[in-house]
Amino acid sequence: MERIYLDNNATTPVLPEVFEAMRPYFGERFGNASSIHHHGQETRAAVESARESVADLLGCRASEIIFTSGGTEGDNLAIAGLVKAGDHVITSSIEHHAVLHACKHLGERACEVTVLPVDDRGQVDPDEVGRALRRNTKLISIMMANNETGVLQPVDAIGKIAAEAGVSFHTDAVQAAGKVAVDVKRIGCHALSISGHKMHAPQGIGALYVRKGTKIEPLFYGGAHERSRRAGTENVPGIVALGKAAQLAKHALDRADDQKMALLRDSLEQGILTQVEDAGVNGDGAPRVPNTTNIHFEHIEGEALVIALDLKGLAVSTGSACSSGAIEPSHVLIAMGLRTERAKSSVRFSLGKQTTAKDIDRAVVLVPDAVARLRALSPGYRRQAISS
């Protein structure tokens, strides 16, 4: 069966160039980057070169990059590392659980946490951030792009508010990096996390930008790796891959590939919406990353649509990836004010660099077919069709 993958916000395939770049570091270039000898020097050079590529993508200095195991670690390191007992933290209701649960944990450790709402398009209001500031506010953690809707947050404005208030600002840019330009200076953040596998590097590697002069407590203790901010022998193949992926992402953005991807995404969206009634885009009208669309299909269970499409070879998701089935409707969509039924009827389509126009054409055929079948067999939809 021909398979089409439109779940790139869950993970992306490793690009062939990225795989080739990392391959030698599983074999002949195996050294520990901390070793004195030739082998160590070889991998040390690779790690530092990758650090420069990542810094180049984010507009910062190489010394401001800490390699991590991924987005979750970066978020936890930023939050736990910048906040102490008695501090106040501001975050939003649509953050990834890596941020929300880390903040919840802080709340259990004598910190105060404010969770800001979003509007019906899924955006945080910067004025609300300003109003939430307290004397003991230490950190604002607001994501750059939401993983479920792709909606971009007004991080530049929030960065200004943070700067004026003298408060640290962390942004989870896991779903933004590689998709839109990310410039830590323009954002004015003190910390920014990214994840390799969301941008065509492998799973298990990520990076956290920490602005020079920002004191951060490590999560791990051990060796003096990563300037004593992240102990543990470096994941050299992963780091090399992330460096390569960052380089490719930078080139692609310079070539305006993001606009091409937005066109593909828009044609998917339009193709579906012109054929399916009682459907709409969640977060419509808000600025979004170019690869994501989240669509509600009234009267169906998103879970069943995901399964039906998978059986036809199209991989999408309900947004909250959980192997044993999600119990709760998406916290993001609920925060945007969607009814439970509408939230549960929503499905996320997310494109990657490998996605072709042919893939989109096929999806535009498969989705309306599957929705029609689901609705024809949905007791609720039949009742409504009869009564209307």
Q: Catalogue the active-site residues.
A: 322
CB 177 within 8 A of CB 198: yes
Token code pair at residue 374: 């689901």
Closest CB to another protein among 162 and 366?
366
Closest CB to another protein among 257 and 310?
310
Q: Is the dihedral of CA 313, 315, 321, 326 positive or negative?
A: negative
385 binds another protein (CB under 8 A): no
On the 0-12 / 13-18 / 19+ scale of CB atoms within 10 A, 362 is middle
* 347 membership: H or E segment, kind and range: strand 346-350
Residue 52's closest CA among 256, 213, 244?
A: 244
327 binds another protein (CB under 8 A): yes
| Shortest distance, position 300 Cβ to another protein, whole Å | 8
Identified binder of another protein from the candidate list 165, 304, 334, 364, rule CB under 8 A: 304
Identified binder of another protein from the candidate list 310, 337, 341, 361, rule CB under 8 A: 310
365 binds another protein (CB under 8 A): no
Residue by residue, DSSP assigns 211-262 as -TT-----S--SS-HHHHTS-S---HHHHHHHHHHHHHHHHHHHTTHHHHHH
324 binds another protein (CB under 8 A): yes
307 binds another protein (CB under 8 A): yes
257 binds another protein (CB under 8 A): no
341 binds another protein (CB under 8 A): no
Token code pair at residue 24: 């030698």
Closest CB to another protein among 324 and 388?
324
Token code pair at residue 290: 């170019």
| Shortest distance, position 376 Cβ to another protein, whole Å | 9
Q: Which stretch binds another protein (CB under 8 A): 118-126, 195-203, 351-359, 377-385?
A: 377-385
The three-class DSSP label of residue 202 is coil
| Shortest distance, position 305 Cβ to another protein, whole Å | 8
Contact residues for another protein, defined by CB under 8 A = 300-301, 303-304, 307-308, 310-312, 323-327, 373-374, 377-379
